[in-house]
Structure 1
Amino acid sequence: MAGVWDILYSLGLIATGLLFGYLYRNVCPHGIAQTEAEINKLRLRLQATALLYVNPVAFGGAIWALNISDIRIIALPFLGALAVTLGGLLALISARFMNLDRKQTGVMVVCGSFTNIGSIGSLVTYILLGEIGVALMPFYKLFETFLYYGVGFPYAKSMSSQTQGTETMVQRIKIVLTDRFVAVAMTSMALGLGLNLLGVARPSFYSALNSVLIPLGTLLLLSSIGMALRFGKMRGYIKEAGVLSLIKFILVPSSVYLLGSALGLGQVDGGLPLKVSVILASMPVAFTALVPPTLYDLDVDLANTAWFVTTGLLLLVVPALWLLLV
């Protein structure tokens, strides 16, 4: 069971990753003489290392040891899809009530939908519930990429002044499926699941290995995020960020909890699938949510503020999750 020091460790690791990346980009380059292009190349290398090597080994190995005897865990991908969809819809309704313009509305919807599951969500789940909780994460986020790139990005583009793309839904799905990061993640999940179903015993050292790999993957991703942080005009968007915080930390997790309970996930493996779903549904705005505003000329300052505020609120959210679920 997680303790106070575990909570402090997770929060410290998140802060360390972001701070290291931010300081490296804004302080160290003066001495190292790295160009902006070189820093961006380093960011991509860090992300690729985490997503193509570290995380697949960690998550595939976790699935290998997962108890999948109860068919009810099949509800996890649909709970994940609910969280993404509901967050976007609630943000859209809120934007209408606040009379935001099109560019701000597009940002609200994207920030309401896109959630930081991969870097922060995996770490918090690991700290609070252990390796067995992390094993359920790939199932929960199964539809996430399709919703982001098949729905979220096209919607954001439709709210900009740019002309819409001509890709059909089938073409968008094909693009997602052929992406190397998605392909590696799905392969890792399939291998872990296959070894699990075949009854192959997992090596005893794997738990110790994952105790290193999961935090390492988080550090790599958050350091790459820290290198891209830019702080603009945040003071004027506190109200919008507050509304998004209410959606992401109260309304969406509550809805996921109620539906998951109704589906009986609270009775599966001591309620583990339900706890994982609530934790992942309670994560802050994903850094990916900052990409569409930049690409499609939306309100970047609103996106930055939403990301910064919701990520900062983890100082309250993580201890609250610990008290409620562990």
Structure 2
Amino acid sequence: MSRLLSSLGIVIGGLLTGYVFRLMIDHNLIKTSRPVGEIRKTLQKIALLGLNPIAFIGAIWVVEWRHAEVAAMPFIGMNNLIVGGILAFLVARLLKMSRYQTGAYIVCGSFANIGSLGGLVCYYFFGEPGFALVSFYKLLEEFLYYAVGFPIAKSFSSSAAGGEGFITRLKIIFTDIFVLVLLGSIWLGFVLNLSGLPRPEFYQQINFIVIPLSSFLLLVSIGMALKFQRMGPYLKPAFLVAAIKFVVVPLIAIGFGTLVGLGKIDNGLPLKVVAVLAAMPVGFIAMVPPTIYDLDVDLANTCWIVTTAMSTFIVLPIQYFVLL
């Protein structure tokens, strides 16, 4: 139970801290020389470029890679994002959404909070071995977001004509500092793992601090952007996208994971990680395409808030009691 409470405490605490901090700035209770957006980006850089690499390197360093079936995890992760987007598109058609709403809804169905929330939950539920598997599950995530998700969202905007070609988008992805650092930390972790060098004993204590701290900073940055206005008209589609993310996609992912044999490895650890990560709420990155392509930002915001709340208070407790 302590693992569940620790996860919930960091999620709720991080979001509330960020939200209250922004309110205090808005009401001049706190004065800062830097814009809120710049503070958010700084927190994200500290977490993604500073803390996460330390955590991934240390976790991958000590994992025993004895099973080839684990190689299927990145493709299961990619399939989950694709299926979520397709199902969201079909729901948008059934609800007769406008073009601008459909584009926003597709990315809400696809993009998921795998990093800050998924990594935290897997660490508290399954320890460092579970956290190490997160890096492989999300290996193709950035590629799918920027090479597929963003262009699809843009195709529903008024600026659909023109834009970057596929090769240009690939260059953007593989020259992005966040992608390079992620790939570099995975590679270095593998090198250390295969080298046979023992990991220092103190590294476990470092990760005990670094992993929750990284997630907390990311959640604070997200909380600083929370907006609760204009949610009413979008509650129905938000609950429908929650059904996609918390029911349909996890069932498909668990089915695929079972077929490739993930449930037979390490007491089913890879399959449990897949089950957790497949049921993540809408990722905050889903707010980016609607913002830059003039899609329905309020719809995306409502889907994010509703699924995050449901994940925190309903889905995570269920996962804890079912998987542990």
TM (normalized to structure 1)? Answer: 0.96
Equivalent in the alignment of 2:197:
200
Amino acid aligned to 1:318: L
Equivalent in the alignment of 1:317:
315
Equivalent in the alignment of 1:51:
48
Equivalent in the alignment of 2:64:
67
Structure 2 distance, partners of 1:25, 1:166, is 34
Q: Does 1:182 align with 2:182?
A: no
1:171 maps to which of 164, 168, 173: 168
Deviation at 1:229, TM superposition (A): 1.7
- Asked if structure 2 preserves the Cα contact closer than 8 Å seen for 1:112 and 1:285, the reply is yes
SS at match of 2:295: coil
1:15 maps to which of 12, 15, 18: 12
- Asked if structure 1 preserves the Cα contact closer than 8 Å seen for 2:24 and 2:30, the reply is no
Amino acid aligned to 1:172: R
SS at match of 1:130: helix
Amino acid aligned to 1:207: Q
Change (3 A) 1:159 1:60: same
SS at match of 1:32: coil
| Structure 1: runs of 5+ lacking an equivalent | none
Cα deviation, 1:254-273, whole Å, max 9, x if unaligned, reads: 10000100001101111111
Amino acid aligned to 2:207: N
Equivalent in the alignment of 2:32:
34
Q: Does 1:155 align with 2:152?
A: yes
Amino acid aligned to 1:122: G
Structure 1 distance, partners of 2:270, 2:2, is 24
Deviation at 1:5, TM superposition (A): 2.4
Equivalent in the alignment of 1:289:
286
Equivalent in the alignment of 2:96:
99
Percent of aligned positions that are identical: 49
Cα deviation, 1:274-301, whole Å, max 9, x if unaligned, reads: 1111101111000000111111111111
Structure 1 distance, partners of 2:21, 2:162, is 36
| Structure 2: runs of 5+ lacking an equivalent | none
- Asked if structure 2 preserves the Cα contact closer than 8 Å seen for 1:18 and 1:225, the reply is yes
Deviation at 1:28, TM superposition (A): 4.1
Aligned residues: 322
Amino acid aligned to 1:71: A
TM (normalized to structure 2)? Answer: 0.97
Equivalent in the alignment of 2:128:
131
SS at match of 1:197: helix
Deviation at 1:87, TM superposition (A): 0.4
CA RMSD of aligned residues (A): 1.1
SS at match of 2:144: helix
